[in-house]
Structure 1
Amino acid sequence: MAYFNIESFKTQYFLVFSALNLLRVVNTFDGAVNMIGGSIVMTALAWNVTKYIRKYLNREYLPSSKKAVLITGSDKGLGHDLAVKLNEQGFRVYATVMDINNPIIDKLMTGSRYENLMNVKKMDVTNEEEVNKVAKEVSDELVANEESLWAVINTVEVQEFGHFDWSQFSMYEKIFDVNTFGTVRVIRAFLPLLRKSKGRIVNVESIAGRLTLPKLTAYCMSKHANQAFNDALRRELYEWDIKVSTVEMAFDRKAGQLSTQNKFSRSVNKQWAMTPDYIKDFYGINYLDQIKIEKLTQIFQNNLDETMDNLVDAVRSPDPAIRYTPYTTIKAKVWANLAQMVPTEWLDKYYYSTEKDSPKPTTPSNSSTTETTSSESSTTLPTSDTTITTPTNTTATSDLQKPKTL
């Protein structure tokens, strides 16, 4: 039905809005709500009902012929599966990987429906020179094939668990360099091609961009930055008719609580091993054995089938959603939206309540923290690069030994 297309959205919206208002008048739906308030509610309701009709009852996808997509992180997981999926649908796929010798590359080629449309490129998103090199290669190949770059899909990310003062500062730099600056590098490099095609940008993000959890600080910081970047990108590229969508995953992209718990255990052990001894002293020797994953991460689990459908919809729909939330339960979807509206103090109280059974840090021993002389001492705080020795007096040293509330 040609009537249900992108150009007729305003007409569809007007019809739905009028029908809902007619029902409201006939059934006195207003109640205690005045006419203005009721109209605002009906406007929002009509908007969402119209989008539902267009998206689910009459889904029509744009053709894939002569169109190419570029996917980062195609050497594993979500990026790999999406590359195979879009290849099956007739797109030329530029699947970028960190290691061109990875055995999974063979699976990408042999597992593809159209091997001639599957192109694997080595591209480290933290290397601007390499990203620009791939962008030039893709541009030349598209011209030769008389094709256009329709979509750029960013799936690559890194994630680490652990307290914010664990590990080294380089861990923060690595997470931001991949998750945030890597996304910016890729989009800046391929944007000229997207401007020509009036295509799509699809960024795979996380609920961690809206909900901040303890023990996931650096990752949450990077994803909050990405949410701001996506909002700005969507508004700035509106004039070029480039649509920007985010697919908001759970805290761990793999399905199942066991996967999340295993990843948590591996990560905290790795971060603890790189943590300076003087910081470990604040937590105590038994802290690592008792530390638990945040309970909230268990609420948010991914529906991987819905995730793949959302990614395809973001690439092919005439009217893609701004944000997709492929969580497994309605509870998770409600939580994600409710958390944006409740007072911050309530969220803090909830987090504190989930930590009641968590291990408590201990007071560092005198011997491991300071060495005191008769009149003056020095406190040595190791860092990732150098050892900084700061002269202090006995009183200041005593203050350092007081228990900390973490």
Structure 2
Amino acid sequence: MVQVYRKKWARNPLKTFFNYLRDSIVCALPIKKLPKWLCRILYGISPRFVFLVHPRAYQDVFISAPFLAPIKFLFKKSRAFTLVSLTSPFILNSVRTPQGVDGFVIAQLTVPEIMMERRHAVQRQLEKMVRFVSKISHEKVVIGLGGWFPMVTRRGSTLHGLAQSLGLLVTNGHCGTLASIYLMIEKIARIGGIELSTLNIVIIGVGKMGTNVARAFNGKVNKITLIDIKESNLTKTKDRLESSEPHSEINVFLSGQDKRSLKEILREHHVGVCATSTFRNVFKLRDMPKGFIAIDDSRPEALPRDPRNERIILEGGLLKIEGTQVDYNYGFGEDDNVFGCLGEAFLVSYDCQHHIKPTLGDVDLNNFFALLELCKKCGVVEGDFKSKDTPISDEDIRIALESRGLVSNSARH
């Protein structure tokens, strides 16, 4: 498991307990909506968007809800997983943007380790979260899905009917996540002085998001290599990509094969993208060559961070909404960087469906490129390059590329 907090970060147990109590009472009230004046008193803002999340790791439970800390000492981890998953959803933090499109992040404490085996229970909790959102909002709120929630809800489709009946919109966040990865890769290419058409990308994990990254770059870059543990995933995705014209050179590598071959593949690609659905590291640090650059979009994080930054593992899926205030540390500090999937909820709300649509099911590439254009118009850019909360400079990126002979020193000038 990747430890995401480099520096100790804690919340006030008493304050979080009373906030949790407030939200639990509101969830339990047999009413459809709180009066607008009461929402203002209790919550301070009228949300335009809401982002639903869950802990990516056991440690996150007690950071987000420190009043639950005694559970760690009273129960075994497996029992604790079940107990915390029964808690009510609660507001984790607010997101205030300069555009006046403010929102909340709402958490439900089911950890990934048990999420798939409790899929129906998680669906019920998500429906409870949607009803909670409806109670505290008085506008057409956009609900974004974080972490494994898109997977549990069939990419948002199982929540769509309920949300629609309550006057809400659901978007699964995949367009926003894809935009964040796309913009980060474009920036890495610019830093290295590399034409996009000569770029080589390796994608680790060919699920929905990994496939989306490949689709977005197919025909625009020189080579895409797909790595997965399932040969069927590799074959299906390769065939799909090669059926498009024009298409990039598409290679596949079955994970678990020769580690030396894997290391060579990683060495010869300018950048990697990790987009797996796992709660364990997919590689050890020694499996990755020095100078390797990867964007880890997996939640929980799947690539080990290198304390020496000899391999640069960037926090993936980040967008920057300049001037935004986020009063929570998700492992990469407290600033105006947000997860791409949260950014999508913000953008859909900001746009009011004039140019982009909510994402349900698979990513529509036309909608994705429209979202990229909208990012330019409203000043949303790629997130800051960070490994945990440590900034990664342009120079760090150049040195990593040069160390593998992928760019020359002349690229600096």
TM-score normalised by structure 1 residue count: 0.31
TM-score normalised by structure 2 residue count: 0.30
Larger radius of gyration: 1
Relative contact order higher in (CA < 8 Å, ≥ 6 apart): 2
Structure having the larger proportion of residues in helix: 1
